Amino acid sequence: MHDTPETEGQSRRDFLRSAAATAAAGMVMGAVASEASARSRTYSLAPQRVIGANDRINIAVVGLGSQGFGAHVRLLHEHAKEHNTAIVALCDLYGRRLSNAAAHVNLPESARYWDYRKLLSDAKDVDAVFVATSDNWHAPICVDSMEAGKHVYCEKPMCKTLEETFGIFDTVKKTGKVFQVGSQGCSDPKWHLAAKLIKEGKIGHVVLGQGSYMRNGRVGEWNNYGDNPYKEPHKSAGPNGTGDNKIDWETFRRGKLTAEYDPDVFFRWRKYWAIGSGLVGDLFPHRLHPLYIAMALPVEGNEGWPWRVSSNGG
C-alpha cells in the first residue's frame, strides 16, 4: 500500500486498512496509462469532497460477483456503523448482480451504474472505489478512479502486465491517493505473530519459505460453482437480455476474444488468459504475501527479495 503524506489524513488510511481486514475476515477490474489519461482528463477537474476525520466515508463498489458482493458489499454494509461508512454507488455489467446488490443495501436506481466511467463522472460524493472486476479491467478502473480523485482498494492481482503496473504506480505518485491491493491472507494474525517471533530472534535466521495449493478437484479448477448465483450462468442472461438478464459482453471482453458471447468466459473468466491471470497470477499472491509478512522481509530495496525461486506442479 502506498500512503499519502500525513497531511492527506490518517483517518482515511486507517479506514482503508480496516475495510480490507473486514473483507478478509468474511471470505478468507503504457497502453493503460495513455488510454486512461485520455478517458479521465475531465475527472481531475471535478471538485473533490473534503472530509474530516469523523465524516462518513462514501464507497462505490465496481464488480459485484462473489468477491465484490460477498466480501465487500455484504460486509461493508454489515459493519457500516462501526466503520462510519456507506455504500453510495454500485457498478456491474450483469443486471442481476447489480439489482441484487442494490436491493441488499437499499440503493435507488440512480445509484446503479453499468459504466464505471459514468459513475466517476456523476457520483460526486464517492470517496473510495473498491475494484472487484475481472482482472483485465483492474488497471484502467484503478487509474481512472484515482484520476477522478478517489482512493482505491483493488482486488488482487493488481493487474496483468508490467506496463499496467507502471501506469498504476505513476498514477498513485501523481495523484497522492491511497491505493491498496487486497490479499485476504495478509489479515491472518498468525502471519504477523510469526513475523514478531522472527524479529525478536526467537526462531532464528530464516533461509527458506515454502507454500502449496491443492486445486485438483474432480471437475477441474473453476469449472463448477454449484448453486452460486454470482458465478453460475442464468439461462436467460446474455447480451440480448433486458433488465436482470442483460449482460454487457462487449465492455467485459475489452476487445479481446471473440465478439460472440460465451457464458463460460463471462462467469468463469479466471480460466481464460485474455480476461484473467491464470492459476499462478490468481492464487500465487495468497502464498507469497503471507510469506513476506511472516519472514519479516522489507518490501523496498533488494535486501528482502529471494535469491532463488522454484515452482513445480501443474
Q: Which residues does 139 contact at the CB level (< 8 Å), separation at least 6? A: 32, 36, 158, 159, 160, 164, 167, 168
Range with the lowest mean pLDDT among 14-18, 80-84, 145-149, 214-218? 14-18
- What is the reported pLDDT for 15? 41
Q: Are 266 and 237 in contact (CB under 8 A)?
A: no
The answer to which of 9-23, 54-68, 127-141, 201-215 has the lowest mean pLDDT is 9-23
- Quick: pLDDT tens for 117-145: 999 999 999 999 999 999 999 999 999 99
Q: Between 195 and 185, where is the model more confident?
A: 195
Q: Does the pLDDT of residue 105 top 90, yes or no?
A: yes
Could you tell me what percent of the chain has a pLDDT over 90?
50
Confidence of residue 206 (pLDDT cuts 50, 70, 90): confident
Q: Mean pLDDT over residues 54-71, rounded?
A: 92
Angle at which helix 138-147 crosses helix 162-175, to 10 degrees, equals 10
pLDDT of residue 301: 58
Residue 53 is predicted with a pLDDT of 60
Identify the residue with better confidence: 247 or 33: 247
Q: What is the DSSP letter of 135?
A: G
Q: What span, in angstroms and rounded, lies between the C-alpha atoms of 54 and 100?
A: 30
Q: Pick the residue with more confidence: 258 or 238?
A: 238
Summary mean pLDDT of the chain? 81
Least confident segment among 12-26, 86-100, 102-116, 208-222: 12-26
Q: Find the mean pLDDT for residues 8-18.
A: 42
How many DSSP H helices and E strands does the chain contain? 13, 6
Mean pLDDT of 221-237: 67
Domains and CATH numbers, the chain: 53-184 (3.40.50.720)
Residue-level pLDDT at 228: 58
Q: Which grid cell is 150?
A: 478517489
The pLDDT, as a whole number, for residue 231 is 62
Q: Which three cell numbers stand for residue 151?
A: 482512493
Of 66-70, 150-154, 208-212, least confident by mean pLDDT is: 208-212
User: Residue 238 — pLDDT band, cuts 50, 70, 90?
Assistant: very high
Phi-psi region of 121 (alpha: psi -120 to 50; beta: other; left: phi over 0): alpha
What is the per-residue pLDDT for 32?
Answer: 35
Q: What mean pLDDT comes out for the span 260-273?
A: 90
| pLDDT at site 59 | 98
Mean pLDDT computed over 32-45: 42
Does position 8 have pLDDT exceeding 50, yes or no? no
pLDDT over 70 (residue 277): yes
Output the pLDDT for position 19.
44
